[in-house]
Amino acid sequence: MSYTEYHDTLSKFVRLRVRPSTLPAFGFHSEDGFGWLYTVPIDGTPLECHVSISAKGVVSERVLDSESGDEYTLYRVANANGRFVGLVRKAVTSLLKRLAASCFERNVFIQNQSRELLETVRSQWGEELEFLWEDSPESAVLRRADTGKWYAVMMRLPKRKFGLADDSISEFILLRIPNEKRDTTLADRRFLSAFHMNKRTWFAIQLDGHMKITEILHLVECSRDQAVKK
């Protein structure tokens, strides 16, 4: 296992956000409000890997001798090679990859309304963003767990893509238009044309605070109600 792969794996956590609800199942225990800790032995060695996640979601790891408590750091040295250091580096890297896949999500949508919206969706319906497009890494969908149908698309794109006279980047959510409110929704100046979607059945909202989050969450729920099998 190369140092580069270990370093790149650890570096990716700065672009990820922890999902605290998933940590107990992985094996973490809470550190009384200071974060979480997970300890696992490294097979074939007398060492243990201790992974800490701070209350702010910052990941760090240490490798310690299980008997003496001495720290083993050679796997962090770029030009260190050999069977033993490679074994430790591989074990730590594999653990970090599994942790990222199981307990973290891409930290793309960082505006306050985006975070609150996603937290509500997660707690109310247990549904998570799905990043489906490699060529659009800052776009993701929300779909109903029971029907598999999309009810929202979130995008981080230039405002001009949505018909605004501004090239700065913002965050948007695209929602289904309730059948009985199509005309009034399309006429509402708070709503935008749905980039890349059917503009007769979808509309967009900029998540910049110009609408109350309670209003947006109500529209998300209405859109979700539309995403049923016919």
Write the DSSP assignment of 19-84 as a string of letters: -GGGHHHHT-EE-TTSEEEEEEE-TTSSEEEEEEEETT--EEEEEEETTT--B--GGG-TT--SHH
Q: Three-class SS of residue 205?
A: strand
Whether CATH 3.90.550.10 fits 112-226: no
pLDDT in tens, the chain (230 residues): 789 999 999 998 987 889 888 999 999 999 887 899 999 999 999 999 999 999 888 999 999 999 999 999 999 999 999 999 999 999 999 999 999 999 998 788 988 999 899 989 999 999 988 989 888 889 999 999 999 999 999 999 999 988 888 899 999 999 998 766 777 776 777 888 887 787 778 999 999 999 999 999 999 999 999 998 76
Residue count (the chain): 230
Bridge partners (DSSP) of residue 141 are 130, 153
- CATH 3.90.1150.30 domain span(s) along the chain: 112-226
- pLDDT tens, 94-126? 999 999 999 998 788 988 999 899 989 999 999
Cα-based distances in Å from 229 to 91, 146, 150, 160 = 45, 10, 11, 34
